[in-house]
Each structure stands twice: as C-alpha cells, then as structure tokens.
Amino acid sequence: MRSALSTLVILELLGIIAGVTAAVAEIETIVFFGPACSLLALIIATLSYRRNVRLAFLFGLSVPTIAVVCFVAIFGLEWSPREAYFPIASISFLYAVVAVPLGVFALLELRQADLSKRQVGFQYGIAQLLGLTFIAAILFASFRSGQPFGAAVGVIVSYGIVAAYVLHQFYVRREEIAAAEIRFRPSVGTDASKPDL
C-alpha cells in the first residue's frame, strides 16, 4: 500500500506541474488537466483517509478544491478563455507553489507512516443522509435560478460543506485512533503479558 500510494502522489505531482505549465501556455488545457488530476487526487485522499495519513490526505483534497475554485470563477463570471487566462493561470501557478512542497512532504510522511494499522472506514448515518439531501437541494435551487453566478455560488457552497465535513471527520477519527493507542499502550515498567488483578 505504501508504494502504491507514493506512486499515486508522484503521478499527481507530475500532473500538477504538467497541468500548470500547459495552462500557462494554453488556458483551454485546464478542461483536461483539471478533471484528470482531480480524479487521481480523490483516489489519493480516499486511500489516505482510510490509512490515517494526514499530509497525503490534505494533498489529495487540495487538488479538487482548486479545480472547483477555477471552475466556479470561469463559469460564474462567464469568462472567455482570453478573460480567464491571467487569473486562472495565476491561481494555478500559486497553487503549484504550495502543492508541490506539500506533495513532497506527503511522500516523506508516507515513508515513515505505519500503514499496517486497521483501516478507517467511512461511516454514514441519518444525519449525513439529511446533509446530502440539503446539499442536493442547494445545488438544484442554484441551477434552477438560470443564472451562471447563482449556480456557481451553489457549487462552491455545496463543495465547501462537503470538504469541511470530510476534514472534520478525518480529524475526529485521528483523535479517536490516538486515544485508542494511548489506552491500549502498556505502561512503562509493567509487564504487558500479565493481566491486571
């Protein structure tokens, strides 16, 4: 799992560099690189979530986030390729300046992480289903407005809610795992093989 996840992070880093370079040369290439890099990044985020690897998870989540921001800006403001060139190329470049070091640190973290631990599952209940229904309602209402700006606002609000929820769940799970490890760690100076009387 370590080598597979590391390979995906390296591929994502190469995709980010190639995507930003292509966007600076020809802004229309973002239509290809944005979804492709986002899909790979979601796989990284999912695997990292399940293995409780923080930096790789954040790195994976950052790519679709910047893709959604760029999409919302282009769609909501109805930019032509010419109008979108400077702001989107600038945002992409600044993102790469932050994302590339984050990806490198994620690779270093993966080299030291213990990936043999029990996987963390995704847990959903009635509250989460109601939340998804609420998000779907926001999206539906925003697109029903018939205005690109309104639809863009609906997309960014919906994505923000989902991203915030996933981040919250990730850190809650990390705290639960850390607490469980402390609880079951044998005390210093005691024989862990002997049961307490």
* Span 13-66, pLDDT tens digits: 999 999 999 988 898 898 899 999 999 999 999 999 888 899 999 999 999 999
Residue 186, classed as helix, strand or coil, is coil
Give me the residue spans of the domains in the chain: 1-114, 121-184
> Among residues 71, 92, 80, 93, which one has the least CA distance to residue 159?
71
pTM exceeding the 0.85 threshold for the entire prediction: no
- At 170-183, the pLDDT tens digits run 888 888 877 877 77
Residue type, 76: G
